Structure 1
Amino acid sequence: MIEQDEWRQWSESWQHQPVVDVQRLQRQVRNKHWRMVAMVAFEAVTSLLALVQTAGLIHHPALSLRWKIFCIAAMVLVLVFWMASFWLRRGTWRARGDNARALMQLTEHRAHAGIRLAKAGLYGLALLLVVVVVLAWPQLQPARWQHDDRLRQILLVQVAFNGPIVLATVAFNLWYIRRQRRRLSRIARFLADDG
């Protein structure tokens, strides 16, 4: 009787196991790896371009000292964010094994890293906006730009160009954080069921 109960419990337990397509999961992990490589390459190229551009601006004779300091601060911010993005991705490149549990743990680790990266991006953007507003404050005064058509045009172009980029960046990062949290919830259920 006890043997039959054990078999029945084992059978019920086995039937309640989540079905995982390991090959599909391996494909997803591999595809995510290549998307991560592409993102790191994109970050490297854009960071290097930003560094080259700001280095060129520093040597521009018409640029005031305040804006040269801004360029240096921007270069430091780019370098710090670039290094932080590598640090935040640590441990997200390979699974510890090829089984479903190891692949799900890697996916979980990547989701946590993605949330940290998105939050770092939001904090970095907020810091950049504060620095820009502090440095540009004298030009942002209405008494300054109302009587200077060239300055008004520059400010309008900056707001028209950078405003949508800032809003899109914030919206994307918030959406991405929500998406990763939902993914973490699914992974937690799987790992709890997998025991």
Structure 2
Amino acid sequence: MSRLYLIRHGKPASTWGEADEDPGLDEAGRAQAEAARDFLLSLPPADRPSRVVSSPLRRCRETAHPTAEALGVDVEIDPSVGEIPTPKALSAAERPAWLRGVFQGRWKDVVGDLDYDAWRREIVASLQARGDTAVFSHYVAINAVMSQLEEDERVLVFRPDHASISTLETDGASLTLVAKGREASTGVL
């Protein structure tokens, strides 16, 4: 079994629903990115990631950068671990209300342009194919993974704090939760 680390991005400079649709990290977020790097580098060599994968969004890329730099690898961009796709008919201003509704329901009931239950299964499948990797992702995508692993149909099953690191194992065909990362109150809801 290979270790996989699923990491929520650090604190962004602005939150969803504000003017910047792709914010980078604020000062606290940069410190969280460095703390994530330090934690990952403190692991026994056999458990350390050798690859770094990130969502395409800036807050994830910036959180991933210190770890990739310390490991001497490039950040691999993978849209499959990106943010939940917003329905095309919604404006950026309408996204927060849509997300609040999503958080109250089940994956099969999420209304949008795609099958969101299939979207969460695709994230899990992309992670199963990885080993010894640090994956920097988002609140909803991490919930997609956790709900699938826990066989819980609810969208919101976990409240990962910024830079929270959950540990998973994969044999290439299955994915197992070893330990959830730090949970905290968050501005997401």
Structure 2-normalised TM-score?
A: 0.28
Kindly indicate which of the two structures has a greater share of residues assigned to helix. Answer: 1
Q: Which has the larger radius of gyration?
A: 1
Structure 1-normalised TM-score?
A: 0.28
